Structure 1
Amino acid sequence: MPLNMLLPRLGQGALQTLSRPTSLAGMAAGRFKARATPFMSALANKRYSSTQPDAADVERLRKLRNIGISAHIDSGKTTLTERILYYTGRIKSIHEVRGKDNVGATMDWMELEREKGITIQSAATYAQWGETNLNIIDTPGHVDFTIEVERALRVLDGAVLVLCSVSGVQSQTITVDRQMRRYNVPRISFINKMDRAGANPQRIIEQIRNKLKIPAAALQVPIGAEDAFEGVVDILKMKAVYNRGERGEDVVLEEIPAHLVEKVKEAREELVATLAEVDDEIGELFIEEKEPTEQQLRDAVRRATIARKFSPVMMGSAIKDKGIQPLLDGVISYLPTPVEVKNTMLDIDNNEQVMDVVPYSNQPFVGLAFKLEEGKYGQLTYIRVYQGKLEKGQFAYHVKTGKKVKISRLVRMHSNSMEDVDSVGAGEICALFGIDCASGDTFTDGSVNCSMSTMFVPDSVISLSLTPKDKNSPNFSKALNRFQKEDPTFRVHVDSESKQTIISGMGELHLDIYVERMRREYGVDCITGKPQVAFRETATCRSEFAYTHKKQSGGAGQFGRVQGYIEPIDPEEHAETPHEFVNNVVGGNIPTQYIPACEKGFYDGLHEGFMVGHPIVGVRMVLKDGAAHSVDSSELAFRLAGFYAFREAFKASNPRVLEPVMTVEVSAPIEFQGSVLGSVNKRKGIIVDTDTQEDYCVVTAEVPLNNMFGYSTELRSATQGKGEFSMEYKRHSPVLPNVQEDMVKEYQKKLAEKK
């Protein structure tokens, strides 16, 4: 369950619920989606259907694909993208992620990315394969930068899910799969690293079916494996595909090697049987025991993939320049055009009715800003044009603010370089300069008042204090403001008591990267404090309250009496409203104008818990009765009454402290399995699963985040530098009683010191 569902709805501060939508559409999407009927949708769309799309525009959209490259960390996404750019002619030579020539991969343009050998920011580019134009976004694999994957998948029509031929489906693969499902993104699965020792594509296909719960079947059979990997056999064409030439640029089709003929026939039968379960046409042929033609199979794979009922599986080795061109052919053959993807928006002028986006250039312009970047020329805003056309020199309207902005410069991105263009049609991805907006904002041409739904933003799980060495540097706040604007998962607030600047993010690496970027890009050296975990407090049983707030010190006094109870609620069952205030007052004992004040008092109490000072989650407050005074009662009196009543009831509800628990996946050589299990147990982890793959073991465990600090160093020393691990937030769970007791004592001690 997402962490944001456990957070209270607060005012300002780092613990504020920041998964809230940044556009009106996001707030209304769930509320109004159920109300929209086909009739209402058709009525709302009436003004858009009067003009037939231009034939040239239809042809342009037919030859357009918007795809993302997504995977678990170190599966070879950036290496794969580098080959795609090379074979499509976008770059003249290939450079590796950690190459000896010190150039680095094209899409990893940041200095930090090239040093660490990881992708930190998603990078957009465009290329052409045959007659088809490709907009490609290469996304990070590390869970700390999951927002980059989130916003990329929000605006893409299809994706390539890259899996390692040995490791297969890993923790972040499951997260990416969940994100693809959230935005209804069809995918091709590409099994990479077929040259690696222990490569087993059939086992990976089984993992896709069992762990990701999506029907999948191979479209290719590998010719050899590990060091002997030579190419693939195309099951549909029934031809062997080899890459020749210095960098595999020459694709050669030959007859299937004799020793693979039977294996290819079996794989084709498996493909037909899998498609028969998800596609009616192949299902009928299967029942009638008729052999489908190549074109029938190709059409069925496309239909089932676009309907997200099936994932075709292709394979190759990006580092060895094998299998990339067939993958590009598969992207064009099986992933949808912008016209084949249904997108919706909300008509603000028509009671926010759900409308279908009409993805043609002759319609009113509607676009979504999905990523911000600070460049040397100012803020760079990435926009997906969903409907209509965006032209240089035209005016666009910012739906959220109603401001009119002029499009002074329009560019297409190629990593960190750009190409100026005069216009961009529907379905395209481009970037603008000089636009002041937030990630997830909608722009129109002013003729329509519609808003797109925005992307989901997970909440932070870790915080640390940050102090600049030069306290007079103006760049400190400038850097923090820029990073917050660019990355919705990076939050900053000033602690009201210690006056320290607190930064919050998705993990240690996430925050380390921003501290390092602050030093390099802004020349600000900072001292960081000990990382702090996002603990929570909750009630565990029902607790009654009857509280009277009265104050008389001459003149008008304060009086407010409230009576009722609080009870725990399951945040998973009440995901939309993890906290609830229920008004059951009858007879007017509390005047109606004071009920909102009681509710405010309840939410004031949620802001900072009474045990260890962390926010309170999963509580319902039911107000049953009360009393008011004709002169002394006021909103303030009832707000304070609600706050103190909740505080007393909460203390009597057997409260517990909750801590974030992470799903930790550790991969290491089999000889270190005992050391890995021991290190996880030492950190109070619960082993969920262990899997042995050839000479590697994979241990999956649930470990409290507070116990994971410094684990990377311990794992490296225990496995001679060969082990690696990844973490992902799972849920909040109660801490051990002795730990809670120590935390409460420490908090009380801090309070006593301040007095």
Structure 2
Amino acid sequence: MSVTADNATQKAPEVAAEAARRRTFAVISHPDAGKSTLTEALALHAAAITSAGAVHGKGDRRGVTSDWMEMEQARGISITSAALRIDYDDRVLNLLDTPGHADFSEDTYRVLSAVDCAIMLLDSAKGLEPQTLKLFDVCRARRMPVITFVNKWDRPGREPLELLDEIEQRIGLRPTPMNWPVGIAGDFRGLIDRADGDHYTKFHRTPGGATKAVEERLSDEQAAAVEDTAWEQAREEIELLGEIGADFDEASFRAGESSPVLFGAALPNFGISQLLETLVRLAPAPAAQPDAKGDPRPITAPFAGQVFKMQANMDKAHRDRMAFVRVGSGRFDRGMVLTHAATGRPFATKYTQAVFGSERSTIETAYPGDVIALINAQALSVGDTLYDGPRVEFPPIPSFAPEHFAVARAVDAGRYKQFQRGISQLDSEGVVQVLSSDVRGEQAPVLAAVGPLQFDVVKHRMEHEFRAPIELAHLDYSLARRTDAASAPALHGLSGGEVLTRRSDGELLMLVHNKWRLRVIERDHPDLVLEPLLAGGVEAAE
């Protein structure tokens, strides 16, 4: 037995016990559903911070902890994913916040590859929206357990039973309410806890919602006297839930077939402690994950982890490059010399940190489910595996199908080296996909994005971080298809302005103006390879 394997055997009980304490989850939602506010509220209730912020800060409410980028704070939206590590009730919560705008879906898809559970956040007035549906498809493909939180119940919205029906009818997920609101949307009084003997908690606001809401436990008699007809209506609806069998079932939840549903309002911190307790109790702990060969890798095996996100210049003073790694197995100790699976080269881990928004702290050890940030990780890219001991590699993280394309050129030719370095770095981070073509050459790469806001991020970072302003010329393409070297000559000769490009991972892509042009090509040349790109196991929508 090797030294590494022997050490892993000795540490196995410790690793198994520590992994059982971990809960690694992401929050997914449509833009403006309150995702960053919920993230902040969860951190507040877990006592990780003392005062909650809001996306649009007012009074003494500061900026959201997870929104650390200058553009995020200026626009009031989440642009990058963020990792928040929180200690709560003898558990370690690894909360991965995700971008709140549809244009940054690719970053969200990567985050979903690194978590064991998702909180699906719904606006009480809007219910399931297109972005939520798209992200849930990824959760479904991964058979990921989903907890649903109906937010903004303090504002006018829809009937709770109507929302439950929409969840079941539109996404086939059986809703099982864990609590139930007293008072219609816009007149939020409190919550009845179905999982705890139908206890009633009444909420009282705090100034600006910057601290925890005051919770008051009332008996049935007290609640009936205080809430009157709102209490009677809530009790009738709860009886109906029992009659239709909308009760929690752990097996179907773990299989991704049903979803515990909770109601609340993140801004005034109503119902957040109930969500936190449900998450700790129900969300699965890290388990064995399949490697590239499809074999499950036990969590007690020697250390192995996968890079799911790259981020540069989080620390403006040092201009560093950080790799976020989800620990898949074994115990990580700072200073370990790991092997980079893609190159076979050693990778030192002297500078390793835990990240809380833009704040950092050195981390000495980590276990399955944890997210570690490796500093000065120039050699790493999204999807790379790091391991200790016998070789192992996790499956690659698929790239998203781009729908917007633009040619980038340096404004100042004298800063071409900075231009090249910046474009290369943004490509490796996954901010955009960078495509090259023989026709345009290296001085004019094609940037491929899911949404146009990604181009705004590129322009901002190229100017402010790399001091190499760029100009973009948008291209009239809306689809990309994977092809091969054998089909390339014939595709290159087609009329209509289609362009053959190569992605940095070596994939050869053909850009097409629209789906009608694509159908003509496929009809006239059925022998040529034109394959759709996949995203997280879900085929890109046309």
Deviation by residue 1:41-64 (Cα, 9 ceiling, x = unmatched): xxxxxx899948755544433322
CA distance in 1, matches of 2:392, 2:13: 26
CA distance in 1, matches of 2:239, 2:281: 18
Q: What are the equivalent positions in structure 2 for 1:469-548 lying under 5 Å apart? A: 469-473=411-415, 474-487=417-430, 489-493=432-436, 496-497=439-440, 500-534=444-478
Deviation at 1:429, TM superposition (A): 1.4
Deviation at 1:652, TM superposition (A): 12
Amino acid at match of 2:21: K
Deviation by residue 1:534-558 (Cα, 9 ceiling, x = unmatched): 357xxxxxxxxxxxxxxxxxxxxxx
Q: Secondary structure at the match of 2:446?
A: strand
CA distance in 2, matches of 1:77, 1:162: 7
* Higher Rg of the two aligned structures: 1
2:272 alignment partner, one of 309, 324, 328? 324
Preserved CA contact (<8 Å) 1:219 1:271: no
In structure 2, the partner of 1:355 is 295
Q: 1:95 to 1:600 in 2, by over 3 A?
A: closer
Amino acid at match of 1:449: R
Greater CA drift, 495-504 or 113-122: 495-504
Amino acid at match of 2:43: L
In structure 2, the partner of 1:557 is none
Q: Which runs of 5+ in 1 are unaligned?
A: 1-46, 276-296, 347-351, 537-570, 572-577, 580-598, 617-649, 657-727, 732-755
Q: 1:525 to 1:489 in 2, by over 3 A?
A: closer
Q: 1:535 to 1:317 in 2, by over 3 A?
A: closer
Q: Secondary structure at the match of 2:393?
A: strand
CA distance in 1, matches of 2:108, 2:130: 14
Amino acid at match of 2:373: A
Q: Secondary structure at the match of 2:54?
A: coil
Amino acid at match of 1:254: L
Deviation at 1:132, TM superposition (A): 1.6
Q: What are the equivalent positions in structure 2 for 1:280-295 lying under 5 Å apart? A: none
Preserved CA contact (<8 Å) 1:609 1:615: no
Q: 1:58 to 1:264 in 2, by over 3 A?
A: farther
Q: Secondary structure at the match of 1:516?
A: helix
Q: What are the equivalent positions in structure 2 for 1:444-459 lying under 5 Å apart? A: 444-445=387-388, 447-459=389-401
Preserved CA contact (<8 Å) 2:199 2:218: yes
Deviation at 1:603, TM superposition (A): 3.3
In structure 2, the partner of 1:344 is 290
CA distance in 1, matches of 2:149, 2:180: 12
Preserved CA contact (<8 Å) 2:106 2:450: no
Q: Does 1:214 align with 2:210?
A: no
Preserved CA contact (<8 Å) 1:87 1:249: no
Amino acid at match of 1:611: S
CA distance in 1, matches of 2:283, 2:256: 10
In structure 2, the partner of 1:255 is 219
1:613 alignment partner, one of 476, 481, 497? 497
Q: Does 1:382 align with 2:193?
A: no
CA distance in 2, matches of 1:270, 1:245: 29
Q: 1:496 to 1:324 in 2, by over 3 A?
A: same
Deviation by residue 1:137-168 (Cα, 9 ceiling, x = unmatched): 11013221111111111010111000100111
CA distance in 2, matches of 1:54, 1:468: 53
CA distance in 2, matches of 1:268, 1:521: 58
CA distance in 2, matches of 1:266, 1:323: 19
Preserved CA contact (<8 Å) 1:377 1:433: no
Q: Secondary structure at the match of 2:295?
A: strand
Deviation at 1:266, TM superposition (A): 4.0
1:366 alignment partner, one of 304, 323, 336? 304
Q: Secondary structure at the match of 1:236?
A: helix
In structure 1, the partner of 2:52 is 94
Q: What are the equivalent positions in structure 2 for 1:99-114 lying under 5 Å apart? A: 99-100=57-58, 103-114=62-73
Preserved CA contact (<8 Å) 2:159 2:185: no
In structure 2, the partner of 1:81 is 39
Deviation at 1:226, TM superposition (A): 3.8
2:23 alignment partner, one of 60, 65, 78? 65
Deviation by residue 1:237-289 (Cα, 9 ceiling, x = unmatched): 201123346333443322243343564354355257445xxxxxxxxxxxxxx
Aligned-residue sequence identity (percent) comes to 23
Deviation at 1:96, TM superposition (A): 1.1
Deviation by residue 1:168-199 (Cα, 9 ceiling, x = unmatched): 10110111101112322211000001122234
Amino acid at match of 1:345: D
Deviation at 1:332, TM superposition (A): 0.9
Preserved CA contact (<8 Å) 1:140 1:149: yes
In structure 1, the partner of 2:504 is none
Greater CA drift, 166-175 or 488-497: 488-497
Amino acid at match of 1:316: G
Deviation at 1:355, TM superposition (A): 2.0
Preserved CA contact (<8 Å) 2:202 2:216: yes
Q: What are the equivalent positions in structure 2 for 1:130-145 lying under 5 Å apart? A: 130-145=89-104
Q: Does 1:434 align with 2:380?
A: no
Q: Secondary structure at the match of 1:205?
A: helix
In structure 2, the partner of 1:417 is 359
Deviation by residue 1:14-50 (Cα, 9 ceiling, x = unmatched): xxxxxxxxxxxxxxxxxxxxxxxxxxxxxxxxx8999
Amino acid at match of 1:464: A
CA distance in 1, matches of 2:385, 2:239: 46
Q: Which runs of 5+ in 2 are unaligned?
A: 501-519, 527-538
Deviation at 1:315, TM superposition (A): 0.9
Q: Secondary structure at the match of 2:355?
A: strand
CA distance in 2, matches of 1:367, 1:415: 21
Q: Does 1:115 align with 2:101?
A: no
CA distance in 2, matches of 1:515, 1:272: 56
In structure 2, the partner of 1:241 is 201
CA distance in 1, matches of 2:8, 2:129: 49
Q: Does 1:303 align with 2:251?
A: yes
Q: Does 1:604 align with 2:489?
A: yes
Preserved CA contact (<8 Å) 1:305 1:335: no
2:110 alignment partner, one of 146, 151, 174? 151
Q: 1:652 to 1:110 in 2, by over 3 A?
A: closer
**Once superposed, what is the RMSD of the aligned Cα atoms?**
3.0
Preserved CA contact (<8 Å) 2:126 2:157: no
Q: Secondary structure at the match of 1:450?
A: coil
Deviation at 1:615, TM superposition (A): 5.5
In structure 1, the partner of 2:339 is 397
Q: What are the equivalent positions in structure 2 for 1:219-238 lying under 5 Å apart? A: 219-237=178-196, 238=198
Q: TM-score, normalised by structure 1?
A: 0.60
Deviation at 1:400, TM superposition (A): 1.6
